[in-house]
Amino acid sequence: MMVKSIIFICAIQLIMALPTPKEIRINEIFSTEDCVYNLCKNSKTYNEHQTKKIVKDSKYENYLQLFGNVVDKPATNITLETRFGGVIDAKSNMCSTKRITMFPKKGFTIDNHEKNIVNIPGYRQTVTFESCYDGEECYVGKEYLPIGVSSSCETQFIVVRLVVVNEDDSLGLEQFSIPSGCSCMYSNAVRKR
């Protein structure tokens, strides 16, 4: 048991010494009843009739292949127990996650521009993603962390392209950041002198 503890502590210290990878720029993330991670189920400015008229224009046929599932994750909430059938082993996830599926009609791009997203009957863009439960600590290893080191579960992001209606009533593609999973992160609260 002592050897495993020493190996775990050494691994954490090695991870903390590695340089931080360049992060994807994420606009200020907000959540409301209709909006999750910068994607909204509804929009007060959404005109479904006009959107349907634009999409059916033959000059946008090349966009038809883009409708359907944008990102598809497993069909259940992911926890240690559901992922491994109640058995926790050395390869288990250290954070529980939640699955969200939505058909967004509005979103904020990675450049923080508000855009209406095409999501009407016959032209659906299903976005399914996995994210952390807010503020949760990592499951495993807390008791082995050195003094001043803490752990937390952080949602990771990727960029996807969705079909949008532009201001000039044309279709276009815009980039949106969405969750791609959950990682156990370690931070050192003690500053080096």
Distant-in-sequence, close-in-space partners of 149: CB < 8 Å, separation ≥ 6: 12, 16, 186, 187, 188, 189, 190
Q: What pLDDT score was predicted for residue 29?
A: 47
For 78, 83, 91, 117, 139, the CA distances from 86, given in Å and listed in that order, are: 12, 8, 13, 40, 14
Q: Which of 75, 66, 137, 138 is nearest to 101 (CA)?
A: 75
Residue 16 forms part of a structural domain: yes
Q: What pLDDT score was predicted for residue 71?
A: 57
Percentage of the chain exceeding pLDDT 70: 66
Residue 107 forms part of a structural domain: yes
What's the CA gap between 115 and 149, in Å, rounded?
41
Residue 193 forms part of a structural domain: no
Q: What pLDDT score was predicted for residue 105?
A: 94
pLDDT band at residue 74 under the 50/70/90 scheme: very low
What's the CA gap between 179 and 95, in Å, rounded?
14
Average pLDDT of the residues in 144-166: 87
Residue 117 has pLDDT above 60, yes or no: yes
pLDDT band at residue 190 under the 50/70/90 scheme: low
What's 87's domain CATH number? 2.10.90.10
Q: What pLDDT score was predicted for residue 75?
A: 47
Q: What pLDDT score was predicted for residue 163?
A: 93
Residue 90 forms part of a structural domain: yes
pLDDT band at residue 148 under the 50/70/90 scheme: confident
Q: What pLDDT score was predicted for residue 2?
A: 53
Of residues 22 and 139, the one with the higher pLDDT is 139
Candidate from 32-36, 55-59, 110-114, 125-129 with smallest mean pLDDT: 32-36
Q: What is the pLDDT of residues 171-186, one digit of tens each?
A: 999 999 999 888 888 8
Identify the domain containing residue 32 by its residue range.
2-188
Structural domains in the chain (count): 1
Q: What pLDDT score was predicted for residue 33?
A: 60
> DSSP for 161-178?
EEEEE-TTS-EEEEEEEE
